Amino acid sequence: MKRALVLGVVAFAVLAVAALLMFLNQQQGEEPLVIAIQPTQNPAAILERSQQLKSFLSQRLGRQVEVYVPTSYSAVIEALRYGNVHAAMMGSWPSALAVTVSDSEVYLAEVRTVAIDGQRVSGTYYFSYWIVKPESPYKRLEELRGKRVCFPSQISSSGYLAPLAKMVELGLLTKRSDRPVDPKEFFSEVYFGGGYQQCYEALMAGNVDVTVTAGDIAYDLYQRVMATTRVIEQQGPLPSHTLVVSNRVDARTREQLVSAFLELGKEEYRDLMRNLVSGLFVGWERKGSKDHLSSLQRFIELTGLRYES
């Protein structure tokens, strides 16, 4: 009883100090620290769910924190570029663009539960795969010229960018100086299914001859796909989501922010992050831009593709 009372007093004191620091910062005119979340769902829904994150970070940093959920990835990058946002949780492809055009760097990479070589692992990268039906006569990607393909999305790094980079590597597509590669120059029909499951269903229904799947889809779907298809090619590694921080943020605040996000990997906070980043979230790992995004940068250079939502 006595120990519980002491712990309660300590916890109250910690919260009181954090509140005092926030008050003093506001009195001194310190601007709020603004965190952007790249929208992957309804921005209004993400903003509503982000209030717990806002409260958590405000307490840990002892200052006012605001969360910004724009309607597009480009708004996040522009906000970083002009100093209106101090940090952002982003997908890997937009992160690469943010690092290129704004004075920002990757500081953390999401650790997520993915499938690699059929095994569930926790990592900051994964692979994607070209698949056909088991009875398909096609053994190599080269044999599918003039056939039908389904990609999940034109803004998917694992489902579009990396697969097209593999085609460039194999000499099946060529990037020209004036425009990016175009899969229509190889396939007779190109469809965008809106997701991996939709493309898998199109393949199994015989509506396309080949499609792409990835190791970061739901594991039960991954198992079903792998049990009913045949892999003819793979590409990767593909980097996970990131925390990008503007270099305008001072070193002390930056380290406090990174430490707070690392704490969000604790089991009691994982559901919070799964509602904001991805349902596969396990934690965060310290990673720099060059280390984490090098493979993705290469895919962009090979294809000339631009992330356009």
Rounded to the nearest 10 degrees, how much is the dihedral formed by the CA atoms of 85, 88, 91, 94?
30
pLDDT given for residue 278 in this prediction = 85
Question: Are residues 232 and 130 part of one domain?
Answer: yes
The pLDDT value recorded for residue 168 is: 98
Residue % of the chain over a pLDDT of 90: 76
Closest Cα partner for 128 from 111, 151, 144? Answer: 151
Q: Tell whether 207 and 137 lie within a shared domain.
A: yes
The verdict on 188 and 224 lying in the same domain is yes
3-state secondary structure of 183: helix
Query: Is the same domain home to 129 and 234?
Result: yes
- Do 258 and 230 sit in the same domain of this protein? no
Mean pLDDT score of the chain, rounded to an integer?
89
Q: Residue 19 falls within a domain, yes or no?
A: no
Asked whether residue 160 is assigned to any structural domain, the reply reads yes
pLDDT tens-digit series, residues 248-269: 999 999 999 999 999 999 999 9
> H helices of the chain, where?
2-27, 43-49, 51-61, 73-81, 92-101, 162-169, 196-204, 219-228, 251-263, 270-274, 289-303
Same domain (yes/no): 165, 229: yes
The answer to whether residues 135 and 210 belong to one domain is yes
User: Which pLDDT does position 292 carry in this prediction?
Assistant: 98
Residue 85 belongs to domain with CATH number:
3.40.190.10
Q: Domain for residue 247, yes or no? A: yes
Of 24-38, 47-61, 155-169, 216-230, the least confident: 24-38
Name the pLDDT band for 309 (thresholds 50, 70, 90): low
Q: What is the pLDDT of residue 238?
A: 97
Q: In DSSP terms, which residues pair with 239 in a beta bridge?
A: 125
Verify that 134 and 223 share a domain, yes or no: yes
2-46 pLDDT, tens digit per residue, is 344 333 433 333 333 333 334 434 434 578 999 999 876 677 888
For residue 229, being part of any structural domain is answered with yes
Q: Are residues 219 and 246 in the same domain?
A: no
One domain for residues 110 and 250: yes
For the stretch 73-121, pLDDT in tens is: 888 899 999 999 999 999 999 999 999 999 999 999 999 999 998 899 9
How many domains are there within the chain?
Answer: 2
Q: What is the residue range of 189's domain?
A: 125-239
